Amino acid sequence: MKLFGVLGDPVSHSLSPAMHNAAFSALGMDCEYHAFKVSKETLHDAIHGAYALGFGGLNLTIPLKEKALDIVKPTELAEKIGAVNTIDFKKGILGYNTDGIGAKKALESNGIEIRGKNVLLLGAGGAARAIAFQLALEGAAVTIANRTEERAVALAKDASRIGKARGTGLDELKALINDCDILINSTAVGMAPRTSETIVTSEMMHSKLVVFDIVYNPVETMLLKEARKAGAKTIDGVMMLVHQGAEAFKIWTGRTPPVDVMEKAVRERLE
Ligand code: NAP
């Protein structure tokens, strides 16, 4: 049997074990995936311990994604993003970031083309960094708007080495939304337990907008409720979670996992 796991703190709430175990079981693979509570201080030992024990691979979650850069050999993209969410042990200890590709596939699986689109990305934290680089790579024009404006400007500067990106604060949101095709919330605003919060309300949106909230707990956030009121198309955060996991699964096993089975496992846990 091959073991896989997610390291983080807190980690008991993680949906990754249910999602990956459902995929292993559907494919009849002799593998198991578990959650392990690991701190920044013990991350080095945990990663090297998993390597020594012959683990098939790891995921990392809060607060370990940035710290792992000092421990693993990151891909060029993970290094640019500044965070690792997937570790593979086949050729040493390699660190990947699959969050951006997860967001891209969540949009594409909803029939949304990214190339040439004006995207307004709210947030400049870890997830926003991965998404900003991916969108720039895919040929979107990205405006990053963040509460702490300097972080948005710094991220835009980094992402503009790959494609079109600019950074700003949250003051002119209505005008920015008027000019955009896709609005992505990659802040933690709206996440449980503060589910009544949203940065953008329906009066600020238009009906041609696609609104993608990467927060998946709750599945229907206040932002998505407001977007629906405005007649905009909505995409929830579940498919990003599933697709970032599916990319990790491919890296570890070389097999394409059943995304529908993974989605069902996640939605059942969230309901
Ligand atoms: P993070 O690194 O801590 O970044 C948090 C971001 O939220 C920052 O941009 C922060 O702005 C902003 N923010 C927090 N509170 C705010 C407020 N009250 N008003 C305005 N902005 C606020 O977190 P992260 O790892 O990027 O994760 C962000 C969210 O994405 C979380 O809810 C996480 O669960 C979700 N997520 C989902 C997926 C998925 O697969 N669907 C993957 C990764 C993350 P400042 O810079 O001003 O502090």
pLDDT digits (tens, 9 = 90+) for 149-175: 999 999 999 999 999 999 999 999 999
Fold: same for 2-97+239-270 and 101-236: yes
CB contact set of 114 (below 8 Å; sequence gap of 6+): 104, 107, 108, 135, 138, 139, 140, 182
Tokens at 13, concatenated: 């709430």
Pick the atom of ligand 1 nearest to 124's CA. Answer: 9
Q: Does domain 2-97+239-270 have CATH number 3.40.50.10860?
A: yes
Instruction: Indicate the average pLDDT of the chain.
Output: 97
Answer yes or no: is the C-beta of 214 below 6 A from any ligand 1 atom: yes
Q: Give tens-digit pLDDT for 42-99.
A: 999 999 999 999 999 999 999 999 999 999 999 999 999 999 999 999 999 999 999 9
**Positive or negative torsion for Cα 221, 226, 119, 155:** negative
Residues known to be catalytic: 65
Q: Give tens-digit pLDDT for 211-258.
A: 999 999 999 999 999 999 999 999 999 999 999 999 999 999 999 999
- Among residues of the chain, what percentage have pLDDT more than 90? 99
Distance CA 263, CA 267 (A): 6
List the chain domain ranges: 2-97+239-270, 101-236
Binned at pLDDT 50, 70 and 90, residue 20 comes out as very high
Residue 203: strand, helix, or coil: helix
Pick the atom of ligand 1 nearest to 122's CA. Answer: 9
Average pLDDT over residues 136-158: 97
Using CA positions, which residue lies closest to atom 20 of ligand 1? 147
CATH of 101-236 given 1.25.40.80, 3.10.20.740, 1.10.1370.30, 3.40.50.720:
3.40.50.720
Exposure string over 102-122, b if 16+ CB within 10 A, otherwise e: bbbbbbeeeebebeebebbbb
User: Quick check: 271 pLDDT over 90?
Assistant: no
